[in-house]
């Protein structure tokens, strides 16, 4: 039985304190699928790269619905850590779907 596990973890603020700061996330993939040559991989990606991925999936999906991404809110009531964690969870759900 083929199994693929993906995890979004370890959010990090890059360029903290500057006008061009952003958060990236570690994306960890593990699979036993024969379709993959590497059985594990790990990369860091930021939110806008998820937006790009979703657009590519929509372009090629036909009638298959593409899952939503968590919102890109510039105004958030609560702590920055709370926002980052909610976004991390939303990105995890996006990749799982």
Burial class, 7, CB count within 10 angstroms (exposed 0-12 / middle 13-18 / buried 19+): middle
Answer yes or no: are the C-beta atoms of 44 and 24 closer than 8 Å.
yes
pLDDT tens profile 45-54: 999 999 999 9
Could you tell me the pLDDT band of residue 74, with boundaries at 50, 70 and 90?
Answer: low
Structure tokens at 25: 């996330």
Instruction: Parse the chain into domains and list their residue ranges.
Output: 4-96
Out of 3.30.300.20, 3.40.50.280, 3.30.1520.10, 3.90.420.10, the CATH code matching 4-96 is 3.30.1520.10
List strand residue ranges (DSSP E) for the chain, in order.
Answer: 4-14, 22-31, 40-46
What values do phi and psi take at 2, rounded to 5?
-80, 140
The pLDDT score that the predictor gives to residue 78 is 58
Phi, psi for 93 (deg, rounded to 5): -65, -40
């Amino acid at each position: 039985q083929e199994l693929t596990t993906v995890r979004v973890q370890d959010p990090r603020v890059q360029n903290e304190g500057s006008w061009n700061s952003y958060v990236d996330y570690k994306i960890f993939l593990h699979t036993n699928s024969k379709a993959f040559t590497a059985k594990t991989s790990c990369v860091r990606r930021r939110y806008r790269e998820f937006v790009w991925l979703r657009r590519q999936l929509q372009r090629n999906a036909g009638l298959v619905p593409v899952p939503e991404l968590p919102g890109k809110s510039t105004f958030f009531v609560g702590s920055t850590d709370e926002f980052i964690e909610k976004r991390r969870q939303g990105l995890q759900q996006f990749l799982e779907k």
